[in-house]
Structures are given as C-alpha cells and as structure tokens.
C-alpha cells in the first residue's frame, strides 16, 4: 500500500474513478504467460509498487501480455489498463501510445488514441503519483527494447 507516508490522493471524475477501481479490483491479464518471449520488471520505491510483466512477441506484434505485482491502486489499475490497451498491437504502436500516455501525465491534453487510459489523467497533478502510473509503462518499454535488441542480433 501507499500509506508509508502521506501521499496525496488524486481526485478523479466519478466515471474515471469507477473505471480505475474496477481495474484495481478485477485486474485484466493478471498472471503469467506459459511461454513468454520477454520478461521485465520494475519497482517504484517511493510508493512500494512492483510490476512484473510477461510478453509474447511474434513478428513485431504483442500477441499476449500478462502482469503480476503489488502496490497502490493507481500502479495496479494502470498496469491492467495498459495490458488491455497494448495486447494485439505492433511494438511501434505500443511505443507511440506509451509516449502519448507519458505526455498526458506531463500535463498535455490526452490524445484520442489513449482511450480508457485517459481515466488516469488526474494523476498528472500529483508528480509523486505520476511514478505509480508510469511504472508499468517503463517495464513495458524495457520488455519491448529487449525484443527489438534480440531481433537486431538475430538479423545481424
Ligand atoms: Zn503507487
């Protein structure tokens, strides 16, 4: 939990709050993959959030994704929302969305392509919580760059 020290809780729109809580209580794509091509993990020591991510990437497409982890509702719901968003997408698309999500949390207006991820826009006002929401995306980016490096090595 994020209660080691007082961390401000963002206020979300009612609709967004419901969506975030729903992903927290019933996380999508939680678990392990049988045959992942990539595994990555990360933590956010400020809050105590942890995320482990399995990816199955085939021909530059994220065929399957699963996460495990613990931490605050923002970090875990963000991971659930992320997996829903990137599953079935090309690596380049996922990277583009990751950049747009980051931009939103830096205060930019959310891009339409973000879809449900827009629910986390309110986090932008709380820099200490931005790390919670971005953790899973950092881990995803690491997994994707692993995949790209392996591909480069294979074709070199
Ligand atoms: Zn957190």
Q: Please state, in angstroms and rounded to a whole number, the distance separating the CA atoms of residues 71 and 77.
A: 10
Other beta carbons less than 10 A from residue 111's beta carbon? 16
Tokens found for residue 100: 């747009």
Alpha carbon of 132 to ligand 1 centroid (Å): 4
Q: How far is the CA of 1 from the centre of ligand 1 (A)?
A: 7
- Which residues neighbour ligand 1 (ion) by CB within 5 Å? 2, 47, 49, 71-72, 75, 132
Q: How many angstroms separate the alpha carbon of residue 59 from the centre of ligand 1?
A: 33
pLDDT at 102: 98
Question: Angle formed by the axes of helices 73-86 and 91-105, to 10°?
Answer: 150
- Taken in order 80, 130, 112, 98, the sign of the CA dihedral is negative
Please give the full DSSP string across 117-137, using - where no structure is assigned. GGGGGGGGG-HHHHHHHHHHH
pLDDT at res. 4: 55
Expressed in angstroms and rounded, the spacing between residue 19 Cα and the centre of ligand 1 is 17
pTM of the model: 0.91
d(CA 116, CA 104): 13
Residue 9 has a pLDDT of: 73
Q: How does pLDDT run along the chain (156 residues), one tens digit per residue?
A: 455 556 667 777 887 889 999 999 999 999 999 999 999 999 999 999 999 999 999 999 999 999 999 999 999 999 999 999 999 999 999 999 999 999 999 999 999 999 999 999 999 999 889 999 999 999 999 999 999 999 888 887
Q: How far is the CA of 133 from the centre of ligand 1 (A)?
A: 7
């Amino acid at each position: 939990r994020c209660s080691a020290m007082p961390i401000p809780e963002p206020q979300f729109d009612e609709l967004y709050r419901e969506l975030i809580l729903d992903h927290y209580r019933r996380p999508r794509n939680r678990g392990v993959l049988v045959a992942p091509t990539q595994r990555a993990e990360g933590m956010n020591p400020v809050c105590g959030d942890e995320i482990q991510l399995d990816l199955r990437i085939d021909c530059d497409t994220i065929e399957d994704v699963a996460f495990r982890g613990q931490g605050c509702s923002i970090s875990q719901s963000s991971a659930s929302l992320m997996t829903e968003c990137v599953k079935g997408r090309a690596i380049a698309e996922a990277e583009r969305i990751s950049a747009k999500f980051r931009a939103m949390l830096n205060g930019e207006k959310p891009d339409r392509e973000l879809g449900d991820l827009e629910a986390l826009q309110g986090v932008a006002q709380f820099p200490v919580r931005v790390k919670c929401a971005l953790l899973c995306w950092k881990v995803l980016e690491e997994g994707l760059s692993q995949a790209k490096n392996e591909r480069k090595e294979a074709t070199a």
